Chain A
Amino acid sequence: MNRAVSHLIAILLGLSPAVTLASMPSVPGEVLVKFRSGVSTASANYSIFRQGGFRVKRLGSSGFEQVQLPDGKNVDIAIQEFLADPNIETAQPNYIYKTLATVPNDTHYGKLWGLKNTGQTVNNTGLGGLDTHRTPNTGTSGSDMNLEAAWDLITDCSSVVVAVVDTGVNFTQEDLVDNIWDGNVGSYPNGGYDFVSSSNAMSDPNGHGTHVAGTIGATGNNAKGATGVCWNVKIMGVRVMDATGSGTTSRIVQGVNFGVTNGAKVINLSVGGSGYDSAFSTAITNARSNGVVIVAAAGNDGANNDASGTPTYPCNYTQDNVICVAALTQSYGLASFSNYGSTSVDVGAPGVNIASTWPGTNVETAENTSGWTGWTLAGSWAYNNAFTNIKGISNPSSYDSTSATYANSADDIAYKSFNISGAQVATLEFGLVMDLASGDGFSVACKNDGTSPFTGGTTVQSAVTGSTDGYIETLTYEITSCASATTSVGYRLTSNASGVDFGLLVGSMSINTLTYDTTTYNLISGTSMATPQVAGLAAMLFAYNPTFTYTDVVNAIKNSGDTVSALSGKSTTSKGVDAYKALLYINPPSSVTAVSP
Chain B
Amino acid sequence: MNARTIHWLLTLALTACASSPERAITEDGPSTETPSSSHELIVSGEKNLGEDRLRAALSTLDYDRVEFLGNGQFLVNFRSEMGPKALETLLWDRGVSAQVSVNQKYSIPNPIRPSRTKRKPLLIPR
Contact = CB atoms under 8 A, between A and B. Distances in A.
A250 B75 contact: yes
A297 B101 contact: no
Given A279-B99, A279-B101, A528 B123 contact: no
A152 B53 CA distance: 54
From A273, A281, A311, A390, residue with most partner B Cβ within 10 Å: A281
A276 interface: yes
A437 to B, nearest CB: 9
B116 A508 contact: yes
A10 to B, nearest CB: 40
From B2, B69, B112, residue with most partner A Cβ within 10 Å: B112
Given A245-B107, A247-B106, A526-B112, A467 B4 contact: yes
Contacts of A76: none
Interface stretch (B26-34, B54-62, B89-97): B26-34
Contacts of B71: 253, 257, 260-261, 282-283, 286
Contacts of B124: 400-402, 470
A319 B124 CA distance: 42
Contacts of B12: 461, 464, 475
A558 interface: no
A257 B47 CA distance: 11
From B20, B30, B99, B126, residue with most partner A Cβ within 10 Å: B30
A323 B53 CA distance: 36
A249 B28 CA distance: 18
A248 B8 contact: no
B112 A434 contact: no
A465 B109 contact: no
Interface string B70-88: 1101010000000000000
Contact of A470 (B29, B114, B126): B126
Given A299-B109, A472-B120, 14 more contacts: A133-B113, A133-B114, A135-B112, A253-B42, A253-B70, A260-B70, A261-B70, A301-B109, A317-B29, A390-B123, A434-B8, A464-B8, A470-B125, A526-B112
Interface of A: 132-135, 166-167, 206, 208, 241, 245-250, 252-254, 257-258, 260-261, 270-273, 275-283, 285-286, 297, 299-301, 308-309, 311, 316-319, 337, 387, 389-390, 400-402, 431, 433-435, 461, 464-475, 507-508, 524-528
